[in-house]
Amino acid sequence: MSHLTNRAREIHLGVRVEIVTVLWMIIEAAISIGAGVSASSALLIAFGLDSVIELISGAVLLWRLSLEARGGDTEQVERAERQAAWVVAIALSLLCLYVLATAIWGLVSRAHPEEAVVGIGMAAAAVLVMPVLGISKRRIAARIESGALRGDAASSFTCGYMAGAVLLGVGLNALLHWWWAEDVASLLFLFWLVGETREAFEEAGDRRRKESGGNDN
């Protein structure tokens, strides 16, 4: 009974964390994309799109956790967990493609983004907020053994990492007028993002194989 009570408490805590994530991502996406379009900054737009992906990921995890919090049966929860894991993995892979394409285009076209004070402020806030959300999700994921939530934690850390890349790239461009700094920062960030994406796909694939093996039995 104690184990069930502890799990229920962790599930409800996860729901609250995901609600905060969804609300934050709505604000972050709107500000970052708006500032990026205004300043012609591919890195800021990529950061905003990352926020949209995190919003989708958070919404899916909110649905999955809410389902269990409302007393959904084991089969429903497992199906939601599997679907959430695949959504996170696919969303991360799309972000990889976007970051790579925009960084290469920026270097080839020698685009000169303008200063974006609002975008820098948003990125600075994300550097502080996203690691806290990521750590919280990772701890809850370990306690309830949720691969999907671990993947969503990776998305949060990705957002925080990208916020740091935005501060570095946009900041260097604003201070030293290094037009290429944003694109180089994006490519450096991509090395980490590819690893996280691969792990997310492996997690989703492992869960599918386990469930297929269980169904065969």
Three-state SS letters, 69-130: HCCCCHHHHHHHHHHHHHHHHHHHHHHHHHHHHHHHHHHHHCCCCCCCHHHHHHHHHHHHHH
Mean pLDDT of 54-82: 80
Mean pLDDT of 67-94: 78
Mean pLDDT of the chain: 81
The answer to whether 113 touches 179, Cβ cutoff 8 Å, is yes
- pLDDT tens figures, 166-184: 787 777 777 777 777 767 8
Q: b or e along 57-72 (b: 16 or more beta carbons within 10 Å of the residue's beta carbon)?
A: bbbbbbebbbbbeeee
The answer to whether 87 touches 197, Cβ cutoff 8 Å, is no
C-alpha distances out from residue 143 to 3, 6, 40, 114, 152, Å? 11, 9, 43, 45, 15
Query: Is residue 65 within a helix (H) or strand (E), and if so which, with residue range?
Result: helix 42-69
Q: Which domains are present in the chain?
A: 2-216 (1.20.1510.10)
Q: What whole-number distance in Å separates Cα of residue 181 and Cα of residue 170?
A: 7
pLDDT at site 21: 92
Residue 216 has pLDDT above 60, yes or no: no
The answer to whether 47 touches 31, Cβ cutoff 8 Å, is no
- pLDDT tens figures, 3-48: 667 888 889 999 999 999 999 999 999 998 998 888 777 777 877 8
| pLDDT level of residue 198 (50, 70, 90 thresholds) | confident
Q: What whole-number distance in Å separates Cα of residue 35 and Cα of residue 70?
A: 39
- pLDDT tens figures, 104-160: 877 887 766 666 678 788 889 999 999 999 999 999 999 888 877 887 888 788 788
Tokens found for residue 84: 């959430």
Share of the chain above pLDDT 70, in %: 87
Calculated CA dihedral for residues 171, 51, 86, 132, nearest 10 degrees: 80
pLDDT at site 183: 76
pLDDT at site 217: 46
pLDDT at site 26: 95
